[in-house]
Structure 1
Amino acid sequence: MGKTKHASDYVYSNAKCGRSHDYLLPRVEAILDDLQPNEIFDLGCGNGSVMAHLVENGYNVTGVDPSEEGITEAKKAFPYLDVHIGSAYDDLSRQYGQYDVTLSLEVVEHVYYPRKYADTVFNLTRPGGHAIISTPYHGYLKNLLIALMGEWGHRHYSPFWTNGHIKIWSPSTLKKLLREAGFKQIRVHRVGRLPSIAKSMIVTASKVSE
């Protein structure tokens, strides 16, 4: 993401949810049910499919993505969405304000400058609000299985995937990133398959009121 190096040519051919949303959205919805936010910011909204799902369930959502193709697909399929071209490297809180929840699904593994990304998430989240971030899960057993199956550099982190996954995040490294940005009460939820070989993890974090 961003104006220097970003996912502006990330390919979107439609506005449908991806396969990862099958296991991400149920947990995200459960978290949102508990938090009951008035306003949500979707950082890296892609083709708008998740935004549309949330809006249809009564949430007020604003979203940005650096992919012109993704935003075009979102506007074509869901003309009622509040979507814009934008990057985690932009001063988004100055442009759009702050939100009860900053949501960013399967994005952080694509960014070149994760600390800038985390600062943007923190600034978008109003005091007393929360961040919800997901990324592919990586831990010892899963990494070992990927290596034994010879999948590194093929399905996982292929060098031929333009703007694909460039960072590997474990629960400890992602929690460290969010703590550095100023978040508190960080919790990790593993989703998809058994926890030790989960497909993704959803991390929730609180921005404590000053």
Structure 2
Amino acid sequence: MTTAPAKPRELRDFYEDPAVPVASGTPRSLRQARMLATALGTRPAQTILDIGCGDGTAAATAAPLLPGHHLVGVDWSQDALRRARTRIPCAVRGELTGGGLPFGSGSVDAVLFSEVVEHLVDPDAAMDEIRRVLRPGGHLMLSTPNLAAWYNRALLLAGIQPVFSEVSLRAIHGRPGHEVVGHLRLYTARALREFVAAAGFTVVRLEGAPFHGVPRPLRPLDRLACRRPSLASILLLHARKT
């Protein structure tokens, strides 16, 4: 007996699926929160958006390191927002298109943008919308997987599809790993710097972070690679609106 092929899903349906992972790693969330806390300094009661907050885990992890600030989760997945509201006080629906974020121009002090840009069809429009809501000098904390991670360089030399890259929303093909997470765009450290600068931001700092999916015997090497962001698994970028 044969079964009919799975019906293609719209991208929106894919991200509304509760089975699709919507949270980044806790260590990365803590590291970003520390970077942001340092950048914000002592100014009280600033508004911080966690755009693409998913289930709210990252925002809840960051909140203790950002006391006194108003942290708001933003996502367009209704399922993710329902889960986020169990973890953080405020989570609202918004989209990264022109005027799609429910905030006034220049009304936000900082944006956490954790492993979202690689999922976007139109990252340029997303950066325009983030820039719109940020005040002059406002902070952007962006993280994304590194296409040129140390192991991806080796995989490509061997003719193997790089980790983090995907050719289908239905299954993994030609690369290590088991989860389909919907990555559409991937960046190297150089490409990310140029992309963010072209969007009207000044890059302040770029760091590397490890990836929890690296096999345990290789994790010391993955942590060592963080010393050179161009080789790290994850790119952590701090920029300011110019």
TM-score band (shorter)?
0.7 to 0.9
For 2:78, the equivalent position in structure 1 comes to 68
Name stretches of at least 5 consecutive residues in structure 2 with no aligned partner.
1-9, 171-179, 211-221
Conserved? CA contact 1:40–1:62, under 8 Å = yes
Where 1:96 maps in the other structure, the secondary structure is coil
Q: Which moved more, 1:124-133 or 1:183-192?
A: 183-192
Distance in 2 (alpha carbons) for counterparts of 1:202 and 1:12: 26
Q: Which moved more, 1:35-44 or 1:150-159?
A: 150-159
TM-score, normalised by the number of residues in structure 2: 0.71
Question: Structure 2 vs 1, CA of residues 189 and 200 (structure 1 numbering), >3 Å: closer, same or farther?
Answer: same
Conserved? CA contact 1:6–1:66, under 8 Å = no
Question: Structure 2 vs 1, CA of residues 88 and 179 (structure 1 numbering), >3 Å: closer, same or farther?
Answer: same
Out of 190, 198, 201, the residue aligned to residue 208 of structure 2 is 190
Kindly report which structure 2 residues correspond to 1:160-179, keeping only aligned pairs within 5 A, or say none. 160-161=169-170, 164-179=182-197
Kindly report which structure 2 residues correspond to 1:1-210, keeping only aligned pairs within 5 A, or say none. 7=12, 9-10=14-15, 11-12=17-18, 18=23, 20-36=24-40, 38-57=46-65, 58=67, 59-75=69-85, 77-78=86-87, 80-92=88-100, 95-97=102-104, 98-139=107-148, 141-148=150-157, 151-152=160-161, 156-161=165-170, 164-192=182-210, 193=222, 194-195=225-226, 197-208=231-242
For 2:214, the equivalent position in structure 1 comes to none
Per-residue deviation, residues 131-160 of structure 1 (Å, max 9, x unmatched) = 011000122744322325665177642413
Distance in 2 (alpha carbons) for counterparts of 1:83 and 1:8: 20
Q: Which moved more, 1:134-143 or 1:39-48?
A: 134-143
Query: Matched residues, percent identical?
Result: 25
Per-residue deviation, residues 79-134 of structure 1 (Å, max 9, x unmatched) = x52111221115145x2132111111000000011110111121121112110110
Number of residue pairs aligned between Structure 1 and Structure 2: 199
Question: Structure 2 vs 1, CA of residues 46 and 28 (structure 1 numbering), >3 Å: closer, same or farther?
Answer: same
Conserved? CA contact 2:196–2:203, under 8 Å = no
Larger Rg computed on CA atoms: 2
Partner amino acid, structure 2, of 1:12: P
Partner amino acid, structure 1, of 2:93: I
Question: Structure 2 vs 1, CA of residues 199 and 102 (structure 1 numbering), >3 Å: closer, same or farther?
Answer: same
Conserved? CA contact 2:165–2:186, under 8 Å = no
Distance in 1 (alpha carbons) for counterparts of 2:97 and 2:181: 16
Q: Which moved more, 1:132-141 or 1:145-154?
A: 145-154
Per-residue deviation, residues 11-63 of structure 1 (Å, max 9, x unmatched) = 3359x984x42331232122122123622011111111112223344231112
